[in-house]
Amino acid sequence: MTDDTQPSTDVAAPEYDWQGYGFDTRQVHAGEYDDLNAGARVSPIAMTAGYRFDSFDDARNRFSGDADGLIYSRQRNPSGAVAEKRIASLEGGSEAIVVSSGQAAITAALLALAENGERIVSTASIYSGTRVLFGRSFARFGVSVDYVWNTADDDEWDRIIQPNTKAIFTETIPNPKNDIVDIEQVARVAARHGIPLVVDNTIASPYVIRPIEYGAAVVVHSSTKFLSGHGAGLSGAIVDGGTFDWAASERRYPLLTEPQGSAAKSLLERYSRTGYARLAREAVVNDIGPALSPFNSFLLHQGIETLSLRMERHLDSSVTIARWLEQHPKVESVDFAGLESNPAHELAQRLYGGRTGSVFAVTVRGGAAGAQAFLDGLRVISRMTNIGDVRSMALHPATTTHISFSEELRERLGIGHGLVRLSIGIEDVNDLIADLDQALARVS
């Protein structure tokens, strides 16, 4: 007896072009490539510093930009490329660059646009570390940063933006006050002045809002946080929206729009929608060197695979906890735009679907003493810095992240002595509420 069964020749090839697929599918698959060594299903960790060139001509062509092969892992690594393509897909951008931290992402994104003697305008309520970066390192580089306090006031924007202002910077959901920003309105200001809008989307993530769809030119992330999700490794990301008309702007971006060195064409002419990404990668990331390690790249794209699942728990639990805290007698106030009582609730509904992330502030009664009693009483929620982890965390900004700020600046930013920042994780929400309740019981 013989087996006449013939092997099928009609075998479908695996999909590698994920354009048009849903968010949940792209977060798992976008950026994957075919492993030719062993057929590994999970994209491998490419532990290498450099790469072979096929020939003398191939090396020259890669360095000149005429060929797109890899050169050195300070510029790009296959493990990082998986995360880059995945993040670009989820944010709706033309290209992404991964770097060693969120601070590195902000630095590279803005230094690609502004140089010595030029300015950036930022909304006033931003992450404390970014304010320190602007006030210390950017000042040393000769790049000045001006702040807008009333983001809804077009006249204030117009007064502050100067002829040498090269970018506007903001965050979708600022930390720790959860004082969300109307990205559409800020994008209109940027468009009116012909300036690119750079948006930090760390706390919202592309699952909640995609700033490029509302007019942002560039998006940055501290992908250490929600994109990675597990607090195991630092990383950052820059996403080129591919939509800003650099050539039409009245402001000069010579590294992007003018030929450099022996090149016959500018980066914009050569790469079009990914020209800014090429500039940030080659003229800042490659030069300064904040490369993301292959292992941390792997942690990043692994974490992104469960982004939507984690965010659902983060978001639902945060709304539940914020509402519970608002009714607690030991709580003075809750800064969470998703609450019906919050002045930004309408904006929260319009742009954020009413769920404004899982990082917000609670002010307990009794000032600093009340905050200390509360924090020292937590047992499930960890006392630590970082946000966006699967684990819930709490911190006292006035004596930690904002300790170097003057009392006057802290007061203007709303960072009171009784204010505690919460980052709600994915634990059982009832366990978190019980922990908060027993800790608040210590507040007199």
Closest CA to 161 of 179, 139, 173, 144: 144
What architecture is domain 307-440? Alpha-Beta Complex (3.90)
| 3-state secondary structure (DSSP) of residue 85 | helix
Kindly state the DSSP code that residue 399 receives in the 8-state scheme.
G
Q: How far is CA 426 from CA 19, 314, 390, in A?
A: 30, 6, 5
pLDDT of residue 276: 97
pLDDT single digits (tens) 367-390: 999 999 999 999 999 999 999 999
Q: Name the H helices within 112-230.
A: 128-133, 139-141, 154-160, 183-193, 205-208
Which tokens in the block code for residue 426?
């994915």
pLDDT single digits (tens) 114-170: 999 999 999 999 999 999 999 999 999 999 999 999 999 999 999 999 999 999 999
Extract the runs of DSSP E, i.e. beta strands, from 79-136.
95-99, 119-123
pTM: 0.95
pLDDT of residue 129: 96
CATH topology identical between 23-304 and 307-440:
no
CATH number assigned to the domain with residue range 23-304, chosen from the 4 options 3.40.640.10, 3.30.9.90, 3.40.50.300, 3.30.300.30: 3.40.640.10
Q: How far is CA 76 from CA 60, 61, 96, 104, in A?
A: 17, 16, 11, 15
Extract the runs of DSSP E, i.e. beta strands, from 277-430.
331-335, 359-364, 382-383, 393-395, 419-423
Q: How far apart are CA 220 and CA 96, in angstroms?
A: 9
CA 66 to chain centre: 31
pLDDT of residue 418: 97
The residues pairing with 236 across neighbouring beta strands, listed in sequence order, are 99
CB of 401 closer than 8 Å to CB of 413: no
Q: Where are the domains of the chain?
A: 23-304, 307-440
pLDDT of residue 35: 79
What residue ranges of the chain have pLDDT lower than 50? none
CB of 328 closer than 8 Å to CB of 440: yes
CB of 229 closer than 8 Å to CB of 389: yes
